[in-house]
Structure 1
C-alpha cells in the first residue's frame, strides 16, 4: 500500500510506493530551525519510489550543505522532504497521512538539544551522529 503525504495547506502532495526506512529524530540546532520544532522526525525513502502527485511547481528548495537540502511548500512553509543531489532523500514524518508503519529508532545530536526539551526514555541516543555502519 502506498504512503501519501502533504503540506499543511494541501497544495503539495506526494506518494511513496515502498517502505520508509531508518526513522530518526535529530536534535541539532540546524534541524530545530529547519523543522521549527524541538527536533526533526525524518525517515529515508528510495528516490525511485517517490512521486510528487500535486503542486511540485510550488516547491521551494534550500541547499543546507553541499549536495543536501530541503524542499518545502512556498505557500504554507511545511518542510516536506530532505534532498540529496536534488532527489528526495527522506520525508518529514509530520507530513505523512495515516500510519506510515515506522517508529523513530534513535535520537541524534542530543548533546546539542534544546535545554527545555525532555527526551522520552527507551530509545537509543547519540550525543552526535550514529556510529558508522559496517
Structure 2
C-alpha cells in the first residue's frame, strides 16, 4: 500500500452526485494504464486507478445507479448509469479488491501514480511528459490481466 494513512476516511462521487462512497483504507500501487480498453472506457489516453480493499469501501448513496459492464470474461467495469462516470473495475478472481478510478475521489489525497503501464498501446496523439517509469504491459510484480 502507499503512504496514504490507513484510517483516513475519503469520499468520492460521480459527476451528477447520484452515487457517493467512502473509503477508509490505504491505496495499492497507483498506475496510469494506457491499454486500449482503459482508453475506451475513459475516453482519454488512459486511466489512473488504484487497488482498494473492498471491505473498507462503502456506498453511501446511489448504489442502485451503478451499472457494471463485463468488458472481458470475469472483468467488470462500473459506472454511474445516469452520468456515465467510471467508478471502479473488479475481477471475479479477486473478490476482495476494487480498482478505484482516482478521478472519482472528492477528498484530497497525498498518494500519486507510481508508473505508466501498457505504454505499447499508447496512441501517437498521446504523450507522456513526466518521469514516471514506463512499462510495456503491467508493472513488475503484478498479474498479467489489464486494468
TM range (shorter): over 0.9
Q: State the TM-score, normalizing by the size of structure 2.
A: 0.84
8 A contact 2:71–2:77 mirrored in 1: yes
Cross-structure match for 1:80:
87
Cross-structure match for 2:64:
57
Matches within 5 A, 1:65-76: 65-76=72-83
8 A contact 1:50–1:88 mirrored in 2: no
Cross-structure match for 1:42:
49
Cross-structure match for 1:27:
34
In structure 1, runs of 5+ residues without a counterpart are none
Distance (whole Å) between structure 2 residues aligned to residue 110 and residue 43 of structure 1: 17
Distance 1:87 1:37, change over 3 A: farther
CA RMSD of aligned residues (A): 1.5
Distance (whole Å) between structure 2 residues aligned to residue 131 and residue 44 of structure 1: 15
Q: Aligned with 1:45: secondary structure?
A: strand
Matches within 5 A, 1:84-95: 84-85=91-92, 89-95=98-104
In structure 2, runs of 5+ residues without a counterpart are 1-7, 143-147
Greater strand share, structure number: 1
Matches within 5 A, 1:95-114: 95-114=104-123
Structure 1 stretches of 4+ with a deviation exceeding 4 A read none
How many aligned residue pairs are there? 133
